[in-house]
Amino acid sequence: MSVAEQTPEVRVSQPKMPPKRNGRWAGYRHLLWARMLELKREPEVVFWVFVFPLLLAAGLGIAFREKPAGASPVAIVAGAGAQQAESLLENSPQHGSFKIEVQDDAAARKGFRLGKYDLVIKPNNAGGLTYLYDPARPESVLARSEVNDALQTAAGRKEVIVTSEVVSSEPGSRYIDFLIPGLLGMNLMNSGMWGVGFALVDMRQRKLLKRFVGTPMRRGDFLLALMSSRLVLMVIEIGLLLALGVVFFNMRVLGSLFTITLLGSVGALCFGGVGLLTASRAQKIESVSGLMNLVMMPMWIFSGVFFSYERFPAVAQPLIKALPLTALNDALRASILEGTPLLHLWPRLLVMASWGGISFLLALRWFRWT
Amino acid sequence: MPIAIQCRDLRKTYQGKVEAVRGLNLEIQTGECFGLLGPNGAGKTTTIEILEGLLEPTSGQVSILGHSWSENSREMREWLGISLQETRLSEKLSVRETVDLFASFYREPRSTDEVLEELQLTEKADSWVGKLSGGQRQRLAVATALVCNPKILFLDEPTTGLDPQSRRQLWDIIREFQRNGGTVLLTTHYMDEAERLCDRLAIVDHGQIIAEGSPADLIERLGGHHVVEFAVSSNGNGPADPAVWPSLPGVESVLESDGMMALSVKEPHLTIPALLDAVEKQGSRLEHLSTRQASLEDVFVRLTGRHLREE
């Protein structure tokens, strides 16, 4: 107390400038801005959110690019009749679509087992031929029917119905067209879950959340800013992937950009909500990582990212369709590939909105700030 | 003077078992710098976080400038500047961005530049938080508290782990805030910090206040003015008789640790000659003798039988 009496100097904390007044949304604006700055300055985020999905799409797109059906590798088992079968095939009109090798029985079978040959042709004792093929391998089935056609035609079979062919290989039905909307959906899930969930637990662990609630900051604004930062990133994510598809793979985007962005927003918010719920109580990064993977794993597998979920048994279909990533992927594919208008996609939007909304409400109830 | 912080019969029990705070009463006046002093685990952090409205007490009342957390919390937050123990601010934001962010939560914050200048952070304004030294980080934590132009400043162990120079810088900042009419509540386990900084302090142990008053008052009441420390070795006539020491003139209390005797005395010029006589009479030899001013450490040892830094 004596100190104050001895030094009656001017009050330093008297504002030298007129005090500024913060408006209702100042906190929200600064939170969002700070979040964007942090993301921009984190090289890992830039890589995982933007570069990795592009690499994945490019890699898979190149691996599964459409190529004219190549020559089918076919083995003929050496022995009586092998010579004749070979010359028939060589002289058939379709001879360009086979690559023929004559092998002994064991080598031919081994090659077939390893996928080196699609079909093994074995002359039998009756003067005919036996086909060894695998009905579960599409290329094997194809080779069998092509070879059979070629042999029969070369041996003099006449077609009884006159047919003609039109070649159709349009963008929209290729694997890359299927893949890119799936990757978009998966990326929105990954970055939504990590971007919200991981960030929250990290801030909780650093006691930053506790420090924030020690200020008059509105808690809703904080969560809103976190979600909004997801929307900004979502626009960039979608833009980059679609641009990759259009520029490098001649993808055709039929739906309007507005519809696609809106679907992306609903998806980003939905997974933001799920991420919020996953991270609502966890105190440590390690525990939230496990939880996140547990939540996302079923969707990576079942929601039709890399292959159609129609391949799973019919019993599982309603469950699969109830997953939020399935809804997002379906809606994105319908819009991008088929141009389905937004109004027809409402069941998908409802699924996502329910997941996001219910998660968000539960998260608010359970959320641990300190 | 109006009361800035008041709490009555504050209790906090974790998971129904651990009693961190056990019936704590405080009354802190406006303009005061008040310290909670105690060892680790004494319940200081729990107490200060309840007062800050970040923890619910199990029972008891808290009032901050006449308001309670259950009624008026948003408005109350406008008045309080808080620095928690160990908050790790975002490393990838600059010092200015961090202070701006905290300023944006308040209705009428101070200008960021002014606060940075006051805390000698102007040079570092554009550096990332991750690049700051420990002392700079701690000053930044205080800057985020001061930017709201608070009426009350809460500091939980503000100087723990800092080098002496950084500690002194922070003390100056806290004194400056107080000189301008602010109220400060801080926790510490450093004696010198409490003695230099606080107008009044409460010594906390096992969730209760065991002594309260100004540092000088506490030392006078409980520590004696001076401490005479000595050690004797026996001269073959058996060990020195410990019953002699308390009966020497002016001795208020006696403590022994590691063979060293410590006498709390009011007037060393009376006690020391009597001590030398007694040693000679016993036929012992004096191995060590020193006197010093009593400190809060002596108060704490006297009250609890333990040293403050003991775990």
Nearest Cβ partner of A30 from B31, B78, B104? Answer: B104
Residue A11 with chain B: CB contacts under 8 Å: 180-181
The pLDDT value given to residue B88: 92
Give the tens place of pLDDT for each residue, A134-193. 888 888 888 888 888 888 888 888 878 888 877 765 666 778 888 889 999 999 999 888
Cβ–Cβ gap A15/B110 under 8 Å: yes
Cα distances (angstroms) measured from residue B118 to each of A4, A14, B144: 18, 12, 12
Lowest model confidence (mean pLDDT) among A81-90, A188-197, A270-279, B229-238: B229-238
B26: CB partners within 8 A, 6+ apart: B5, B6, B7, B10, B34, B51, B202, B209
Give the mean pLDDT of A330-346: 92
Measured between CA atoms, the residue of chain B closest to residue A24 is B107
Q: What CATH number should be reported for the domain holding residue A88?
A: 3.40.190
For chain B, how far is it from start to end, CA to CA, in angstroms? 38
Q: Are residues A275 and A302 in the same domain?
A: yes
**A52 in a domain, yes or no?**
no
Those residues of chain A whose CB sits closer than 8 Å to some CB in chain B are 1, 3-4, 7, 11-13, 15-17, 19-22, 26-27, 29-31, 34, 37-38, 41-42, 206-208, 210-217, 370
pLDDT reading at A202 higher than 70: yes
Q: What is the pLDDT of residue A38?
A: 92
Q: What is the mean pLDDT of residues A281-310?
A: 91
Tokens (6 digits) for B286: 């004096």
Is A91 part of any domain?
yes
CB contact under 8 A, A37 and B87: no
CB atoms within 10 A of CB A84: 14
3-state secondary structure of A102: strand
What pLDDT was estimated at residue A86?
85
In-domain check, residue A292: yes
Q: Quick check: B237 contacting A, CB < 8 Å?
A: no
Domain for residue A11, yes or no? no
Can you say how many angstroms the Cα of residue B2 is from the centroid of all Cα atoms in its chain?
A: 23
The separation between the first and the last C-alpha atoms of chain A, rounded to the nearest angstrom, is 36
B107 vs B125: CA distance, rounded Å: 23
Cβ atoms within 10 A of the Cβ of A114, count? 8
* A159 CB-near residues (< 8 Å, 6+ apart): none
Work out the percent of chain A whose per-residue pLDDT is above 70: 92
Residue A227 pLDDT > 60, yes or no? yes
Give the CA angle between residues B201, B205, B210 to the nearest 5°.
55
> Has residue A188 been placed in a domain?
yes
In which residue are the tokens 């379709």 written? A94
Out of A106, A138, A167, pick the residue that ends a domain. A167
Angle at Cα A64 formed by Cα A63 and Cα A70, nearest 5°? 100
Whether residue A14 is predicted with pLDDT greater than 60 in this model: the reply is: no
Which is nearest to B140 in space by CA: B188, B182, B89, B177?
A: B89
Tell whether B1 lies on the interface with A, counting CB pairs under 8 A: no
Q: Which residue has the tokens 């709201």?
A: B148
* pLDDT value for B304: 78
Residues 6+ apart with CB under 8 A from B214: B198, B199, B200, B201
- DSSP codes joined into one string, A318-369: HHHHHSHHHHHHHHHHHHHHH---GGGGHHHHHHHHHHHHHHHHHHHHH---
Q: Which residue of A has its CA nearest to B142?
A: A211
- Answer whether B72 touches A (CB < 8 Å): no
Question: Which residues, 6 or more positions from B33, have their beta carbon under 8 angstroms from its beta carbon?
Answer: B174, B175, B178, B183, B184, B186, B197, B198, B199
Paired tokens of A46: 């830039």
Considering the domain boundaries, does residue A14 fall inside one? Answer: no
Three-class HEC string of chain B: CCEEEEEEEEEEEECCCEEEEEEEEEEEECCCEEEEECCCCCCHHHHHHHHCCCCCCCEEEEEECCECHHHHHHHHHCCEEEECCCCCCCCCCEHHHHHHHHHCCCCCCCCHHHHHHHCCCHHHCCCEHHHCCHHHHHHHHHHHHHCCCCCEEEEECCCCCCCHHHHHHHHHHHHHHHHCCCEEEEEECCHHHHHHHCCEEEEEECCEEEEEECHHHHHHHHHCCEEEEEEEECCCCCCCCHHHHHHCCCEEEEEEECCEEEEEECCHHHHHHHHHHHHHHHCCEEEEEEEEECCHHHHHHHHHCCCCCCC
A12, pLDDT greater than 50: no
pLDDT surpassing 60 at residue A10: no
A143 shares a domain with A269: no
- Please name the residue of chain B whose CA is at the shortest distance from the CA of residue A8: B179
CA distance A222 to A208: 12
**Subunit contact A210:B180, Cβ cutoff 8 A:** no
The residue type at A225 = A
Which residues of B fall within a CB distance of 8 Å from A44?
A: none
If asked whether residues A145 and A228 sit together in one domain, one would say no
Cβ pair B201, B37 in contact under 8 A? yes
* Judgement on whether residues A275 and A210 belong to the same structural domain of the protein: yes
Which residue range forms the structural domain that includes residue A328?
A: 175-366
Same-domain status, A227 and A158: no
If asked whether residues A163 and A198 sit together in one domain, one would say no
**Dist. CA A53–CA B191, nearest whole Å:** 57
Q: Are residues A195 and A228 in the same domain?
A: yes
What is the distance between the alpha carbons of residues A325 and A309, in angstroms, rounded to a whole number? 12
Q: Tell me which residue in B88, B110, B111 faces A206 most closely, judged by beta carbons.
A: B88
Nearest to A305 by CA among A329, A339, A273: A329
Give exposure, B40-78, as e/b (b: 16+ Cβ within 10 Å): eebbbbbbbbbbbbbbebbebebbbbeeebeeeeeebbb
Out of A109, A136, A167, pick the residue that ends a domain: A167
Kindly report the pTM of this predicted structure: 0.78
DSSP A80: T
What would the mean pLDDT of A91-116 be, rounded to a whole number? 85
The stretch A48-63 carries a mean pLDDT of: 84
A57 within a domain of the structure (yes/no): no
pLDDT band at A293 (very low <50, low <70, confident <90, very high): very high
Residue A9 has a pLDDT of 44
> Same domain for A183 and A314?
yes
Subunit contact B90:A34, Cβ cutoff 8 A: yes
Residues of chain B with pLDDT under 50: 311
Mean pLDDT of chain A: 86
Write out chain A residues lying below 8 Å of B110, CB-based: 13, 15, 19
- A352 assigned to some structural domain: yes
Note whether A30 contacts B101, CB cutoff 8 Å.
Answer: yes
Domain count, chain A: 2
Q: State whether A78 and A109 are in the same domain.
A: yes
Per-residue model confidence (pLDDT) at position B279:
85
Same domain for A136 and A179? no
Contact between A215 and B105 using a beta-carbon 8 Å cutoff: yes
CA–CA min distance B169, chain A (Å): 17
Section A42-47 average pLDDT: 84
Same domain, A232 and A321: yes
Do A163 and A179 have their domain in common? Answer: no
> A133, A149, A167 — which closes off a domain?
A167
